[in-house]
Structure 1
Amino acid sequence: MLVLYATALVLSLTAGVPGRARAEGGMSADRLTALFERYGDTSGRWNGADRTASVRLPDGRLLWLFSDTFLGPVGPDGSRPRTASFINNSAVVQQGDELRETVHGGTAEDPASLVPPPAADQFYWIGDAQVVGETLQMLVNRYRRTGDGPLDHVLLGTSLATFALPGMTPVAVRPLPLGERISWGSSLLRDGGHTLIYGTEASGETKFAHLARVAGTDLNGPWEFWTGTGWAPTADRSARILSGVGTSYGVQRVGDRYVLVTHENNLVFSADVVAYTAGGPTGPFEGPDYLHRAPETDAGHLVYDADLHPDLARPGKLLISYNVNNVDDAVTYADAGLYRPRFVEVDWPRPRPDRADVPPAPAALTAEARGAGNAELRWRPVPVDDELRYLVHRRNVTAGQTHFVRIGEPSAEPRSSADFLVNGHEYEFRVTAVGRRGEGPPSPVARMTATVPPPPPPSGVRAEAGRTGDVAVHWEPIPFVQVFRLYRRDVTAGQREPALVGTFTGTSATVGSLWHARTYEFTLVAVGGGGDSPPSTPVRATASVSPPAAPARLTAQAQPDGDIRLDWANLGPGVSYRVYRRDLTAGQSRPGPPALESRPSHLARHLEHGHEYEFTVSAVDRDREGPLSPPVRARATFSAPKVVPTDLRVTEVGTGEVELTWRSASPGGWHRVYRRDLTAGEREFTEEEVPVQGTRATIRQLRNGHEYEFVVAAANQAGAGRQSRPVRAVPRLPTPAGLAATSAGNGEARLSWRPAGPGLAYRVQVRDVTAGGEWRTDPVPVGGTDFTAVLLVRGHRYEFRVAATDGIDTGTPSAPIAVLVR
């Protein structure tokens, strides 16, 4: 199904002065990180986002693509206000070596996602993108939220969004028949005669890379999927080619090798960015090669979604971006610099140590399961110098991990432990020794099956209410537990069972969108390798919502159609508005019931021409209404419509009436109908007393047998516009049918006929055929459909006929019928 959409992009994106096809010599990672820091702090539009894909446009500009995005200026203290607009995808344009513009949907005052959501509870996150001719093709993944935590969402499928260049004009969003297992578009790579499309499958705590391809460059073409041995036409046969990738990662061909760079996802919440290499795009991949350890995790932040940017990389280097966030959104709001891309660069290919100078492999490695859910590892020490350190590597066999991953910190002792294991999972371990000249070969593998009990219930849980309908919940850490589920119960509303708020890491979470003066109860469950803990002891907090401020910068602008448009500054997500109006010209002393708006704009309709109106607006956060804004005034002014109705037709002619239809640019608007009686010699049109809303009218009280001419004009309070072309019609009375006559004796004859229509009377006409008489009309109209003619001459033959009458005109009489009177 092709889903067309239209959204106003806040950027013309005309070609302008083309940027260089590539910044001279590339750009350093430090410069790019600083570039986004400065743009986020000073642009006043974009202040932070994640995903960070890039694509070169035909005119030389570079388009940076982002998923969840904060818009608006940064506060003086370096925080992002809670009123900051938040959308699910956006773009930033780089021209030369400077960031120039932010691209999103909606308007500057009321921004929306660049790729709008298909439903209220869904959203799109950006995959990778490419240019095909004069079109930008962007793979986007559709999700639905399942909770308030950053980990709470479910994949619904992948779509292809297209934009016309150079103006980034939206063209279409087309769902692709790829299923819900894999989010496609993690990376795109043109290779020979194909475009390679990498994707990510999330299975439990492990993510796996997949590969598809299309012939040529157009992603609208048929896709093929790597099955492990060949290519198949259906996504359900797609095979895993590597474990431990992120939702987004980068793939680049360097010489005759394929390099896949990703945030290390074989471990939960790892700080490492790693590379895998292969001789072909399908693998098998070798690695990991550890490229960078993100320092942001030391402060409790999350690192994720590494990607490559070859268009800006300096010679001999890989240019890598990664994203940083925190599971507690209070932290993300407090520090606007947190939620922005970081860039690093590494030399590539990496130098390889001389194997003769590195330590030998450790021997006699053993792995013993401990009851606390960890593994105790021991090995025989390597007899080398005092600077020797050991590195432990682990592979979760049960989870299907394809490679070993480095765990823990380097150890000087021939012993270590492995934590955060999953109950019943089989693990493999190996150890390497690191000397002054590099890392040696791995030890033989040791295997064990983890025995992990459920964690104890969280302790030290406390809840602190804020002033914006938020409650911060804190708890103490639990050894070997990284994930917690938070539940909430609305005590004031009488809610009996707690509902899941979301899944969180760390030791705090902020719950928002709570109602003023309501008491809420919170419980916490720790999720460990051995399953879920018992719930914590409940804690309660009463939410408080400070009334929002009065909306600022309220403006009122009269429209040509008599409406008045209001706009004001947005007060942030979750805030609605009440719009009050007062008719000053009519002497209205108090405003009427307010109009309700979820966005910072309102179109006041059904106004009186020439009347001056006064408007005020208040903001509502949950059930708390803030003060009124300063009032603004505007006068409603209508201009007569300029459109002319077309295709005026007579669709039905009835008794003394006709039905007209026409086409109009405003089919639901008001129209005036005019008529003139040509038979009566009228030269001027007469306006019907009652205007018509819509494009259909029935005109009554017409003279039957008279020819009329009709015209139509669009109208409003300022008057009528130009008239349409005329049409003509002649309403005629129906002719009665089924006339029958019988002699009743005594010089009488009885007549009957079928009714000709509602509301009609009849005139009976008779002539004495035997006496050669003329037709004469009975002086009394007949209300029914039968009549008795009296005082007739016996033995004479009479003819009768009947005509319908509306009291003014008489229609055509029926065919005569004869009867011999006895």
Structure 2
Amino acid sequence: MLQHYKKINPQMTQIFIYEIGESCDSFSLINLRSYVLKQSVAIKTETEFVLMTDVHRLSIKIMEMEEFEKPFRENEQGWLGSDCAFSLPLTDERVLWLFGDTFVAASESKDSLNREQSKIINSSIAIQKKRIITSKGALRFFWNMQKDQPQSFFQNHKLAGFLWPLSAALVNGKIYVFAVRIVQTDIQSAFGFKQIGNEILCIENPDDTPAAWRIRVSYLPFAETGVSFGAYARLYPPYLYLYGYRKETDDWQGPLNLIIARVTMDGSTDVADYKSWEYLNGENMTWSKDAKRLRPVVRHSRSELSVTYLEALKRYVFVANHWKAPHPILIRLSETPFGPFSEPRTIYCCPETEWDPDYFCYAAKAHPQMVTAKNELVISYMVNSKTLHKCVRDMRIYYPRFIKAVIDGYE
């Protein structure tokens, strides 16, 4: 419950300090935000609070990082916004960014740099060539072109539908991109999609320019059982951990349960060889080569998330949006990369949902290469609209948005 609250320097910034007991929930934070918005027109840039988890009492400071958004918004290539925004460091100064449905300008004319004259493609990428993303010219965006028309970067026309990229891993000099195969079921609905497959795209020559990449496609056999992998992938030696989800219903907005697999890393590892994976039984926390023994470790997860190690806490931190509206950003803690995880605790309520009743937030995940201290998480999330025309007209949304969470723990 809310125990105390105060505003500091409302003319310049607002800092909220409050303590939350065991019943911490998103509604407390939402009501607090609504109260403050009604009391002052000052722009909230920082939030501080104390948060109780199952294991730790955490001191958390949240900062909204608009400077991280500018390289995406202010590019001159005609890339006009997208979602997903997974990142994969390739070297100390080279990062791959993966995007889903993307608005691309119809031409290079400045008059066409709006979404009303753009084309939507199903995937694009960016290569960050500087360690600091805020450096001028740090991002260069890529997609395919055919007959002077923008086309999706990731394509596989052997099957129906199209591909949405998810997370990726760099293993033995190759990039493995997880993707889901999608068919559109209702062109008028923001959620009129159905997943029909799960693929791994192996980029065999990632040091070359993306236009010259050779991509080998492998198919995962789990889609018919509602299982998909690619929600996140991260190396914690000696394993590469592969996070996924199991759908409870066919509804695109329905709840998902977190599942985990892992593969031992050595010089001959082929991530696409799912028969070499171990699968976690989340009910008894045991591993098996038998995929039929796979069981969820967390209920009500998301299709995009992250599990990163926070040195300051000596814990792994799960980051995702809550599965129910208004989809605040939450964390869970664990002593291992695979759980068991603590109960979810909300750390941030996305303010954009207050702009319009059709707006929603999703795709929250951490980007470890962007931190500058051992107690930080840099988290991106997306804002979209349930109606396409609002997404087309409102250039504030459908770009990656970033927050920084500074987290310190004490017993």
Q: Structure 1 length normalisation: TM-score? A: 0.37
In the TM superposition, residue 199 of structure 1 has moved relative to its aligned partner by 0.4
Match of 2:349 in 1: 293
Match of 2:403 in 1: 344
**Is the 2:258–2:301 Cα contact (8 Å) retained in structure 1?**
yes
Match of 1:156 in 2: 196
Listed as ranges, the gaps of 5+ residues in structure 2 are 1-62
The answer to whether residue 354 in structure 2 is matched with residue 302 in structure 1 is no
Deviations 1:59-112 (A, max 9, x none): 72111110111111697698412x412111110121213433211223582222
Report the secondary structure of 1:244's partner residue: strand
Higher relative contact order (CA closer than 8 Å, sequence separation 6+): 2
* Aligned pairs (5 A) from 1:11-22: none
Take 1:258 and 1:275, find their aligned partners in 2: how far apart are those partners? 10
Match of 2:122 in 1: 88
Take 1:344 and 1:351, find their aligned partners in 2: how far apart are those partners? 23
**Is the 1:273–1:292 Cα contact (8 Å) retained in structure 2?**
yes
In the TM superposition, residue 313 of structure 1 has moved relative to its aligned partner by 1.4
Match of 1:226 in 2: 280
Deviations 1:336-385 (A, max 9, x none): 33111100011124567xxxxxxxxxxxxxxxxxxxxxxxxxxxxxxxxx
The answer to whether residue 233 in structure 2 is matched with residue 188 in structure 1 is yes
Deviations 1:777-812 (A, max 9, x none): xxxxxxxxxxxxxxxxxxxxxxxxxxxxxxxxxxxx
**Is the 2:306–2:365 Cα contact (8 Å) retained in structure 1?**
yes
Letter in 2 for 1:346: A
What is the aligned counterpart of 1:178 among 222, 225, 240?
222
Match of 1:199 in 2: 244
What is the aligned counterpart of 1:101 among 140, 143, 162?
140
In the TM superposition, residue 28 of structure 1 has moved relative to its aligned partner by 8.3
Report the secondary structure of 2:74's partner residue: helix
In the TM superposition, residue 202 of structure 1 has moved relative to its aligned partner by 2.4
Deviations 1:30-53 (A, max 9, x none): 3212222222xxx13211000010
Structure with the greater alpha carbon radius of gyration: 1
Report the secondary structure of 2:235's partner residue: strand
Question: Hey, which bits of structure 1, 4+ residues long, moved more than 6 A?
Answer: none
Letter in 1 for 2:392: Y
Take 1:76 and 1:104, find their aligned partners in 2: how far apart are those partners? 21
Take 2:245 and 2:401, find their aligned partners in 1: how far apart are those partners? 22
The answer to whether residue 90 in structure 2 is matched with residue 57 in structure 1 is yes
Match of 1:282 in 2: 338
Aligned length: 320
Match of 1:538 in 2: none
> Alpha carbons of 1:196 and 1:313: their partners in 2 closer, same or farther (altered >3 Å)?
same
Match of 2:21 in 1: none
Letter in 2 for 1:60: E
Take 2:147 and 2:352, find their aligned partners in 1: how far apart are those partners? 32
What is the aligned counterpart of 1:335 among 375, 394, 399?
394
Match of 1:36 in 2: 72
Q: Structure 2 length normalisation: TM-score? A: 0.72
> Alpha carbons of 1:120 and 1:281: their partners in 2 closer, same or farther (altered >3 Å)?
closer
In the TM superposition, residue 319 of structure 1 has moved relative to its aligned partner by 0.4
Letter in 2 for 1:275: I
In the TM superposition, residue 236 of structure 1 has moved relative to its aligned partner by 3.5
Match of 1:516 in 2: none
Match of 2:177 in 1: 138
* Aligned pairs (5 A) from 1:318-329: 318-329=377-388
* Aligned pairs (5 A) from 1:296-445: 296-299=352-355, 300=357, 301-315=359-373, 316-350=375-409
**Is the 1:79–1:335 Cα contact (8 Å) retained in structure 2?**
no
Report the secondary structure of 2:399's partner residue: coil
In the TM superposition, residue 120 of structure 1 has moved relative to its aligned partner by 7.4
Report the secondary structure of 2:352's partner residue: helix
> Alpha carbons of 1:75 and 1:290: their partners in 2 closer, same or farther (altered >3 Å)?
farther
Deviations 1:587-607 (A, max 9, x none): xxxxxxxxxxxxxxxxxxxxx
Letter in 1 for 2:241: L
What is the aligned counterpart of 1:214 among 255, 263, 268?
263
**Is the 2:93–2:128 Cα contact (8 Å) retained in structure 1?**
no
In the TM superposition, residue 241 of structure 1 has moved relative to its aligned partner by 1.0
Letter in 1 for 2:353: T
Structure with more of its chain in helix, by fraction: 2
Letter in 2 for 1:88: N
> Alpha carbons of 1:235 and 1:68: their partners in 2 closer, same or farther (altered >3 Å)?
farther
Deviations 1:694-731 (A, max 9, x none): xxxxxxxxxxxxxxxxxxxxxxxxxxxxxxxxxxxxxx
What is the aligned counterpart of 1:263 among 316, 321, 342?
321
> Alpha carbons of 1:297 and 1:119: their partners in 2 closer, same or farther (altered >3 Å)?
farther
Listed as ranges, the gaps of 5+ residues in structure 1 are 1-26, 353-822
Match of 2:295 in 1: 239
The answer to whether residue 207 in structure 2 is matched with residue 166 in structure 1 is yes
Take 2:129 and 2:299, find their aligned partners in 1: how far apart are those partners? 37
